[in-house]
Amino acid sequence: MDYNGEKIEICNSSKFGIYKKILLSFIEQLDTAIQIHGRVLVLRSDFHMNFYTSDNKIFSNYIKNIKQYLKRHYDITNIGYQWVREQEKAKKQHYHLVLMLDGNKIRHPSKLNKIMKSKWLPRGHMHIPENCFYLIDKDNIEKQRPEAIYRASYMAKSRGKGVRPAQTKDFYCSRLKLKNCA
- Answer whether residue 144 is part of any domain: yes
d(CA 83, CA 67): 14
What pLDDT shows up at residue 112?
A: 97
Query: Looking at the domain assignment, is residue 17 inside a domain?
Result: no
Q: Which residue has the higher pLDDT, 4 or 25?
A: 25
Residue pair 41/133 in contact by the 8 Å Cβ criterion: yes
Residue 154: CB partners within 8 Å, gap ≥ 6? 11, 12, 96
pLDDT tens for residues 143-169? 999 999 999 988 887 666 656 656 778
Instruction: Give me the amino acid identity at 166.
Output: A
67-97 pLDDT, tens per residue?
999 999 999 999 999 999 988 777 889 999 9
Is 16 among the domain residues?
no
Say what angle helices 57-74 and 110-120 make with each other, to 10 degrees: 140
Q: If pLDDT is split at 50, 70 and 90, which confidence band does 106 have? A: very high
CATH of the domain at 107: 3.30.70.1910
CA 124 distance to own-chain centroid: 18
The DSSP code for 56 is S
Number of domains in the chain: 1
Q: Are 82 and 156 in contact (CB under 8 A)?
A: no
SS3 175: coil
Is 99 inside a domain boundary?
A: yes
Q: What range defines the domain where residue 73 resides?
A: 32-173
